[in-house]
Amino acid sequence: MSAKRLRPAAWGVVVLLAVLLPFFFNAYRVGQFTQAAALAIAVLGLNLLVGYSGQISLGHGAFFALGAYASAISITDLGVPYLLTLPIAGAVCALAGFLLGLPALRLRGLYLALVTLGVAIATPQIIKRADGLTGGTQGMSLDKITAPAWSGLADDQWLYFVTLAVAALMFVVAGFLVRGRVGRALVAIRDNEIAARTMGVDLARFKIGVFAVSAMYAGVGGALFTISIGFLAPESFPLALSFAFLAAIVVGGLATIGGALFGALFIEFVPVYAADVDEALAGVIYGGVLILFMYLLPGGVMGLVRRISSTKATPRGTDDAQAGAGHRLGGGAADAGAARERVRAQ
């Protein structure tokens, strides 16, 4: 099978598995998969920003929290139906992303990382302080969503499918986005800003734009996550959450779309199982994985999948937007495939 047909086939299998999943697991597990799907949206958003456009955000937990609270407050204080809060959360976060994107224009690399890290650290404090809206340290709880009678599904399955549908939509949109003109512009900015500008890429527009879109993804993910959990408090959004998102995009593969799935499953389930051994183990794994992946597998899981499938099938056509990223980041890992793609990316 050629690689060109391999990709839709792989996505078909993923979708099929995702649809069948809730019928084979108990409600608790289905809830976890729902949360993983919600996380995947946020992870994808971060990857658009970091992987594709090369702007580093260590503070996406802040947007995730903002989306979660925007949704929860709309539900409890304004009586908005659950699903209608998703566009609200998305819009609020897009605006916040736009605002943070403005100074980000002047801050590159390390400095942007510093500022966003500060935002992530400040997030729980700000939530606590705005206790009139957020309920402060008490947190807020939401009633569980109920499945409509016509669906014939249990509540947890219904929520799972809703989340899955939203996630699928956002994955498709992101896929189209990075494959076209926008994706090429973002990658050009990442690889060489000056050259990109010379080629006529409007730096400000794309950099702010991707910040807003990325924040919107994080916000929608946060809203769905919170609806699934049914409770939120300042401690739900610690610095570690932002780090987990970063670990997720590195594990999945920088500048990939499908990687967000692996990344989200990784950060949803690793802490669950790691906690059985020791409270600190998840962190040890995250930290270790971040370092090891940068050495050994800079393309993440998706890079590995590509490498395997491209040795079996005929080499794929030009897909530079996706190919270069991981390899450019690699410090040590150099193999024939990487070298070949590096040449092409230049």
The pair of three-digit structure tokens given for residue 113, joined into one six-digit string: 């990382």
Q: Which amino acid is at 312?
A: K
Nearer to other proteins, 158 or 266 (CB): 266
The least CB distance from residue 282 to other proteins, in Å, is 7
Near other proteins in 52-71, by CB under 8 A: 54, 56, 58
Q: How many residues bind other proteins (CB under 8 A)?
A: 51
Distance CA 186, CA 171 (A): 17
Q: Which two tokens stand for residue 329?
A: 């980041």
3-state secondary structure of 143: coil
114 binds other proteins (CB under 8 A): yes
Among 79, 148, 150, 194, which residue sits at the site for other proteins (rule: CB under 8 A)?
Answer: 194
Q: Does 12 bind other proteins (CB under 8 A)?
A: no
* Three-state DSSP class for residue 141: strand
Among 180, 298, 319, 181, residue whose Cα is nearest residue 249? 298
What DSSP line would sit under 206-274, residue for residue? HHHHHHHHHHHHHHHHHHHHHHHH-EE-GGGS-HHHHHHHHHHHHHH-TT-STHHHHHHHHHHHHHHHH
CB 213 within 8 A of CB 48: yes
Cβ 187 to other proteins shortest distance, Å: 13
Q: Please state the three-class secondary structure of 282-323 as a single string.
A: HHHHHHHHHHHHHHHCCCHHHHHHHHHHHHHCCCCCCCHHHH
* The one segment of 3-11, 171-179, 276-284, 302-310 that binds other proteins by CB under 8 A: 276-284
Q: Which of 4, 84, 103, 205 lies at the binding interface for other proteins (CB under 8 A)?
A: 103
Interface residue with other proteins among 27, 275, 280, 339 (CB under 8 A) is 280
| Count of C-beta atoms within a 10 Å radius of residue 197 | 13
Give the angle subtended at the CA of 35 by the CAs of 156 and 11, to the nearest 5°: 95
Task: Rule CB under 8 A: say whether 122 interacts with other proteins.
Answer: yes
Amino acid identity for residue 9 in this structure: A
Among 111, 176, 231, 273, binds other proteins (CB under 8 A): 111
How much of the chain is helix, strand and coil, in % rounded to 5? Answer: 80, 0, 20
Stretch that binds other proteins, among 77-85, 263-271, 287-295, 338-346 (CB under 8 A): 287-295
Among 21, 92, 96, 119, binds other proteins (CB under 8 A): 119
- Map residues 289-328 to x or -, x wherever contact with other proteins holds by CB under 8 A: xxx--xx--x-----------------------------x
CB of 121 to other proteins, least distance (A): 5
Residue closer to other proteins, measured from CB, 259 or 330? 330
Query: Which residue, chain included where needed, has tokens 């807003």?
Result: 212
Residue (85 or 116) nearer to other proteins, CB: 116
214-253 residues near other proteins, rule: CB under 8 A? 239-240, 243, 246-247, 250
Which of 10, 15, 231, 288: binder of other proteins (CB under 8 A)?
288
Residues of this chain that bind other proteins (CB under 8 A): 50, 54, 56, 58, 103, 106-107, 109-111, 113-115, 117-119, 121-122, 125-126, 128-129, 194, 239-240, 243, 246-247, 250, 254, 278-284, 286-291, 294-295, 298, 328-332
